[in-house]
C-alpha cells in the first residue's frame, strides 16, 4: 500500500523522476484476472474530456465573444498574487480548516442509496447508489449527466463485486477454521497419545492453546492467569471426518482403479505432515486473495477520488466532497472483514505453521517481489556476443577450407550434423519461449499463475535468454572445436576423441538439469522434471495445464527425440569410432523405434485426454484425443512411406496427413485460441482481445496454417534440394514446427488467461486435506 501511495502521490522530496500518470499506475496495480471489476477509469476520463472540449468551445467572455474567459489556472495565479499582500494568519490558526456550509443553491449533486430489493432481506452492501445532477438544465449539462450515470454504474459494480468477494472469503475462512480444528485434533492424537492423563484419555479432551482474537485486539499483556488463552479441544471431530488422498502417485492411482482405497485416518505422522503441507498452502493462497481484496478496495477508492477531483477541476464545481463522502460511507470503505481476516490468518499461520516465528511466517505469506539483476543482463549480452563471434568463426572456417564441396561433406551431414542439430532445436525453442514470456509480461498475461510457478521463482525472458545464449555458446564452441580438430594434421588421428564432443555436451546438459543443488534455477528445473514425469506416467496422474502444455511442446520436438535415438545408436554401437552410421541406417529395429519415437508424444496426449475425460466428464476431451490419434496415424503412414515408398503408401500418407492437418488447425484456432467466432464483437475473433491490433490474429492464423503444411514435404518427396542435404532440409522443417509452436504458445495462454478473467480466478485452488460426513457441520 505504501508503495502505491508513494508512486501515485509523486516522486517525493529530492526526486527528479516524473511521477507515473495515475491511469497507468492504476492499470499496472490491478489484479489481471479482476480487471473488468475495477472502476473503468479510462472511459470516465473520456467523458470528462468531452466535457472539457465542450466548455472550451462554448465558454467565451460576454464583453468580447472572440476572447475566451480567464482560465482557472490564470485566475488562480492572480488570486495568489493578491494573497501575497494579505496579513499573515499564523501557523496555528484554525481559520479555514473547515469548509463553510454550502447553501442549497450551491449544491451540484445529491447522492442517495437505495435498496435493490426488500430491505429486511438486504444487508448494508446490497444498496444501489444513485447521483442526481442538479445542474442538468445548464448548457452542456447533458454531458455531465452522462458522466454521473457512468460514475454510478462503475461504483455500484465495484461495491457489488467487493461484497460478493468478501462473502466468498468469509465462507472460505469458516472452511479453513474447520480444517484447522481437525488438524489440531489429529496432531494431538498422534503426538500425545502415549503420554496423556487417564482423565484426558477417557474424556477424549486435551488442553489446546488457541489464538484469543479479543485479547489480541485489546493488546492485553496480562499473563497472571496461566489458563488464559486455553480451551479444551475435543477429539470427537476425528469421528466425523475422513482424510482426502493427499499425494497422488501412479501406485495410488492403480489402487484406486482396482480396489477401493480407504480414506480413513490411521493417525500417523505422515498423514499429519501431508495435511499440514496442504493446509499451509491453502492459508498462503487465502492470504494472497485477502491482500488482493484489500488492494482492490484501496485502489478503487483512490480512483474515485482522482476522477472526482478531475471533474471539479474541469467544471470549476465542488461536487467531489459530496460524492466522496458517499464513497467513504459505503460498504467499500466501511467493511473491515478483510482487514480482520488478514490479521487472524497471519496470527494463525505464524502460530501453527511457523512455531511462532513471525519473520518466517511473513516471508511465506508475503514473498518479496522478484528483483531484476543487472548481472543477468550483462552475461546475457556477453553470451550473445560470444555466440555471434563463434558463428562468424565457423562460417569463415567452412568457407576458407571449402568444406561444403569436400568429399567428407556427406559423411559429416549424416553423422555430426544430427548430433549438433539437437542443441539447435533446444536453443530455438528456448528463444521462442523467451519471446512468449516477454509478450505475456507486456500484455499482462499472468503466465506465472496459469502455470502454477511458486511465487518469485518464475523465469523472466532475460533469464530464458541467458540460458539459451549460454547453451548456444557451448554448442558453437564444440562445433568449432570439432572442425578444427578434424582439419588439424596434428589431431587428425584422434577422430574418436573428436566424435565424443557432442556426447560430452549432452551429458553436461543432463547433469545440469538433474542437479540437486540450488544452482541454475533449481525450482524451475524441478518443476520441469515433475511435469515430464507426469507426462511419462500418463494417465496415472491428474492432468494439469503445465502437464499437457509440456506434452504439446514434445509433439513439436519429434526430430529432437529422433536425434536422441541417433545418439544412443551412434555411440552405443560404436559407429562413432569410424564416423559411420551404417549400423543405424541399415537396422530394421532402428527403423521401428524411429516410428515409435515419433508416436510417443502424441500418445501421451491421447492418454492425457482420456484422463481429463474421466476426471472432468468433458466431452471435448474425447474429440481432442481423436485429433491426436489422427495425427498418430498420419505420422506412422508418413514414416512407413519414407522407408518403403510406393504409390499406395503415398496416397495413404497424403490423405491421413491432410485429415490430421485440417483437424489440428481447426482445433488450434477454435478450441485452443478461441478464434473464428461468427457472432463476435470482433468479426471472426473473440469478443475480448489482448493485442491492440486485430490484424495480428489473422496473420497468426495464416502462419499457423502455412507452418502446419510444412510436414507435407515428406509426402511430396521434397527430401533433398540441389543446394541442401536431406538432413539440413529435415532440420529446417523441424525448426518451422518449433516456430509454429512458439506462436501457438502465446495465443493458447492468452485464451487461458481470458478464461480466468471471465471467471475472476486470481489465486490457485488448493485441495483441502479433510472431508466431512454429511451433516457434520450442523452438529
- Does 674 have pLDDT greater than 80? yes
Averaged pLDDT for residues 382-408: 87
- 188 — phi, psi (to 5°)? -65, -40
Averaged pLDDT for residues 444-451: 92
Residue 744: pLDDT band (50, 70, 90) is: very high
Averaged pLDDT for residues 314-319: 88
Q: Name the one residue in this structure whose C-alpha cell is 503441507.
A: 277
Higher pLDDT, 492 or 381: 381
- Does 607 have pLDDT greater than 70? yes
Q: Name the one residue in this structure whose C-alpha cell is 516477454.
A: 438
Averaged pLDDT for residues 652-667: 91
Candidate ranges 370-384, 574-588, 711-725; pick with highest mean pLDDT: 370-384
Residue 101: pLDDT band (50, 70, 90) is: very low
What's residue 459's pLDDT?
93
The DSSP code for 205 is E
What are the residue ranges spanned by the domains of the chain? 149-220+228-366, 374-400+410-758
> Which residues pair with residue 772 across a beta bridge?
241
C-alpha torsion angle, residues 420, 426, 428, 430 (rounded to 10):
-150
Spatial distance between the Cα atoms of 556 and 560, rounded to a whole number of angstroms? 9
Tell me the per-residue pLDDT of 115-137, one tens digit each, with 9 for 90 and over: 655 444 444 446 788 888 888 77
Tell me the per-residue pLDDT of 677-722, one tens digit each, with 9 for 90 and over: 888 888 889 888 999 999 999 999 999 999 988 766 655 555 555 6
Tell me the per-residue pLDDT of 525-556, one tens digit each, with 9 for 90 and over: 999 999 999 999 999 999 999 999 999 999 99
Residue 495: pLDDT band (50, 70, 90) is: low
Contact 659, 630 (CB under 8 A): yes
Spatial distance between the Cα atoms of 238 and 272, rounded to a whole number of angstroms? 13
What's residue 393's pLDDT?
93
- CA-CA-CA-CA torsion sign (340, 342, 345, 346): negative
What's residue 618's pLDDT?
77
The average confidence (pLDDT) of the chain is 81
- Does 601 have pLDDT greater than 50? yes
- Does 390 have pLDDT greater than 90? yes
Please state, for a pLDDT cut of 90, what percent of the chain lies above it: 45
- Does 404 have pLDDT greater than 90? no
Averaged pLDDT for residues 282-297: 93
pTM score of the predicted model: 0.82
* Neighbouring C-beta atoms of residue 233, cutoff 10 Å: 19
Higher pLDDT, 45 or 407: 45
H-helix or E-strand spanning residue 539: none
Spatial distance between the Cα atoms of 660 and 255, rounded to a whole number of angstroms? 36
What's residue 94's pLDDT?
39
The C-alpha cell that represents 731 in the structure block:
532440420
* Neighbouring C-beta atoms of residue 224, cutoff 10 Å: 5
What's residue 85's pLDDT?
43
- Does 489 have pLDDT greater than 70? no
Tell me the per-residue pLDDT of 212-252, one tens digit each, with 9 for 90 and over: 444 444 443 443 444 444 455 567 777 777 777 656 777 66
- Does 382 have pLDDT greater than 50? yes
What's residue 118's pLDDT?
47
Residue 666: pLDDT band (50, 70, 90) is: very high
Amino acid at each position: 500500500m505504501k508503495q502505491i501511495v508513494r508512486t501515485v502521490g509523486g516522486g517525493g522530496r529530492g526526486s527528479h523522476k516524473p511521477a507515473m500518470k495515475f491511469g497507468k499506475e492504476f492499470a499496472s496495480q490491478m489484479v489481471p484476472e479482476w480487471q473488468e471489476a475495477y472502476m473503468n477509469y479510462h472511459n470516465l476520463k473520456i467523458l470528462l474530456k468531452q466535457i472539457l472540449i465542450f466548455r472550451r468551445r462554448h465558454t467565451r467572455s460576454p464583453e468580447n465573444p472572440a476572447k475566451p474567459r480567464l482560465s482557472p489556472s490564470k485566475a488562480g495565479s492572480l488570486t495568489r498574487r493578491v494573497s501575497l499582500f494579505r496579513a499573515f494568519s499564523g501557523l496555528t490558526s484554525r481559520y479555514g480548516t473547515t469548509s463553510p456550509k454550502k447553501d442549497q443553491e450551491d449544491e451540484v449533486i445529491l447522492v442517495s442509496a437505495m435498496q435493490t430489493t426488500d430491505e429486511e432481506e438486504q444487508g448494508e452492501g446490497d444498496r444501489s447508489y444513485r447521483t442526481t445532477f442538479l445542474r442538468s438544465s445548464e448548457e452542456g449539462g447533458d454531458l455531465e449527466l452522462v458522466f454521473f450515470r457512468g460514475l454510478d454504474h462503475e461504483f455500484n459494480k465495484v461495491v457489488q463485486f467487493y461484497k460478493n468477494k468478501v462473502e466468498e472469503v468469509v465462507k472460505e475462512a469458516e472452511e479453513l477454521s474447520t480444517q484447522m480444528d481437525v488438524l489440531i485434533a489429529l496432531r494431538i492424537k498422534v503426538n500425545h497419545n502415549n503420554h496423556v492423563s487417564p482423565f484426558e484419555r477417557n474424556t477424549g479432551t486435551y488442553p489446546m492453546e488457541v489464538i484469543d482474537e479479543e485479547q489480541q485486539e485489546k493488546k492485553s499483556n496480562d499473563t497472571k492467569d496461566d489458563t488464559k488463552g486455553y480451551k479444551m479441544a475435543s477429539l470427537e471431530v476425528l469421528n466425523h471426518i475422513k482424510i482426502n488422498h493427499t499425494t497422488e502417485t501412479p501406485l495410488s492411482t492403480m489402487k484406486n482403479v482396482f480396489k477401493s482405497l480407504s480414506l480413513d485416518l490411521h493417525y500417523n505422522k505422515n498423514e499429519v505432515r501431508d495435511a499440514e503441507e496442504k493446509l499451509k498452502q491453502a492459508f498462503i493462497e487465502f492470504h494472497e486473495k485477502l491482500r488482493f481484496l484489500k488492494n482492490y478496495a484501496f485502489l478503487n477508492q483512490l480512483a474515485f477520488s482522482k476522477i472526482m477531483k478531475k471533474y471539479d477541476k474541469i467544471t470549476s464545481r465542488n461536487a467531489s466532497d459530496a460524492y466522496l463522502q458517499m464513497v467513504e460511507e459505503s460498504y467499500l470503505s466501511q467493511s473491515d472483514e478483510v482487514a480482520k481476516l488478514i490479521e487472524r490468518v497471519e496470527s494463525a499461520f505464524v502460530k501453527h505453521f511457523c512455531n511462532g516465528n513471525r519473520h518466517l511466517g511473513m516471508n511465506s505469506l508475503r514473498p518479496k517481489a522478484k528483483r531484476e539483476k543487472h548481472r543477468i543482463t550483462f552475461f546475457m549480452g556477453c553470451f550473445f556476443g560470444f555466440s555471434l563471434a563463434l558463428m562468424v568463426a565457423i562460417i569463415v572456417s567452412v568457407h576458407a577450407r571449402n568444406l561444403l564441396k569436400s568429399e567428407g561433406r556427406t559423411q559429416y551431414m549424416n553423422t555430426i550434423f544430427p548430433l549438433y542439430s539437437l542443441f539447435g532445436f533446444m536453443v530455438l525453442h528456448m528463444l521462442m519461449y523467451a519471446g512468449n514470456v516477454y509478450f505475456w509480461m507486456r500484455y499482462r498475461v499472468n503466465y506465472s499463475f496459469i502455470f502454477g510457478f511458486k511465487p518469485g521463482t518464475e523465469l523472466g525472458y532475460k533469464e530464458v535468454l541467458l540460458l539459451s545464449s549460454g547453451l548456444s555458446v557451448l554448442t558453437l564452441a564444440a562445433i568449432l572445436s570439432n572442425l578444427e580438430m578434424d582439419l588439424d594434421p596434428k589431431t587428425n588421428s584422434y577422430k574418436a576423441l573428436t566424435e565424443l564432443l557432442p556426447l560430452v555436451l549432452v551429458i553436461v546438459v543432463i547433469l545440469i538439469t538433474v542437479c540437486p543443488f540450488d544452482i541454475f534455477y533449481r525450482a524451475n528445473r524441478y518443476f520441469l522434471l515433475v511435469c515430464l514425469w507426469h507426462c511419462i506416467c500418463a494417465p496415472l496422474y491428474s492432468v494439469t495445464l503445465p502437464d499437457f502444455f509440456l506434452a504439446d511442446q514434445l509433439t513439436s520436438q519429434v526430430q529432437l527425440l529422433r536425434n536422441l535415438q541417433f545418439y544412443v545408436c551412434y555411440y552405443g554401437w560404436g559407429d562413432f569410432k569410424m564416423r559411420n552410421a551404417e549400423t543405424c541406417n541399415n537396422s530394421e529395429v532402428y527403423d521401428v523405434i524411429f516410428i515409435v519415437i515419433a508416436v510417443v508424444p502424441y500418445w501421451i496426449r491421447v492418454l492425457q485426454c482420456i484422463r481429463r475425460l474421466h476426471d472432468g466428464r468433458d466431452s471435448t476431451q474425447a474429440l481432442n484425443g481423436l485429433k491426436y490419434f489422427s495425427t498418430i496415424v498420419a505420422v506412422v503412414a508418413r514414416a512407413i512411406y519414407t522407408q518403403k515408398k510406393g504409390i499406395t503408401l503415398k496416397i495413404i500418407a497424403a490423405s491421413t496427413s491432410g485429415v490430421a492437418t485440417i483437424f489440428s488447425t481447426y482445433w488450434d484456432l477454435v478450441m485452443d485460441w478461441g478464434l473464428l467466432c461468427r457472432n463476435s464483437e470482433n468479426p471472426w475473433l473473440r469478443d475480448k482481445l489482448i493485442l491492440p491490433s486485430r490484424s495480428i490474429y489473422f496473420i497468426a492464423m495464416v502462419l499457423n496454417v502455412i507452418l502446419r503444411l510444412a510436414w507435407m514435404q515428406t509426402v511430396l518427396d521434397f527430401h533433398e534440394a540441389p543446394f541442401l542435404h536431406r538432413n539440413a532440409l529435415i532440420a529446417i522443417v523441424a525448426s518451422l514446427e518449433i516456430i509454429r509452436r512458439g506462436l501457438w504458445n502465446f495465443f493458447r495462454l492468452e485464451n487461458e488467461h481470458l478464461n480466468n478473467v471471465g471467471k475472476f480466478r486470481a489465486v490457485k485452488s488448493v485441495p483441502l486435506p479433510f472431508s466431512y460426513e454429511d451433516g457434520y457441520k450442523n452438529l
